[in-house]
Amino acid sequence: KQEVTQIPAALSVPEGENLVLNCSFTDSAIYNLQWFRQDPGKGLTSLLLIQSSQREQTSGRLNASLDKSSGRSTLYIAASQPGDSATYLCAVREIYNQGGKLIFGQGTELSVKP
């Protein structure tokens, strides 16, 4: 059974710092991996989607990498800002599923202090 783990559960950094969020998964037979952002009381917003054949994706100050063989993904945030404060979740889509199920991690709650 696929399990997705995110470490740390919470992270507090000063503004301007570069940071890395970690995501690990137990079964490497994935189709893709997505990183989401969730603000308090809001839904999830998809940030980056990495297909299994890709190694990384970039969007602005965000860079996500994928190492399928080791079951790991990282989300790198450059020059963090207070507006980056949110919970970040990763989710994998397994090859075996009929196109449906995303398996989510529990998330990392990020706080960027001014």
Q: Which residues bind another protein (CB under 8 A)?
A: 31-32, 34, 36, 41-46, 49, 51, 89, 91, 93, 97-102, 104-107
Q: Which two tokens stand for residue 69?
A: 């063989």
Pairing of strands 30-38, 86-94: antiparallel
**Distance from C-alpha of 112 to C-alpha of 66, rounded to nearest angstrom:** 25
Give the nearer residue to another protein in terms of CB position, either 83 or 99: 99
Residue from 107, 78, 92, 100 nearest 11 by CA: 107
User: What is the nearest approach in angstroms of another protein to the Cβ of residue 55?
Assistant: 16
Residue number with CB closer to another protein (22 or 32): 32
Q: Which is nearer to another protein, 75 or 80 (CB)?
A: 75
Q: Minimum distance between the CB of residue 102 and another protein, rounded to whole angstroms?
A: 7
Bridge partners, residue 103, by sequence? 92
Minimum CB–partner distance for residue 16 and another protein (Å): 29
Q: Whole-number minimum distance, CB 62 to another protein, in Å?
A: 14
Strand duo 108-113 + 56-59: pairing: unpaired
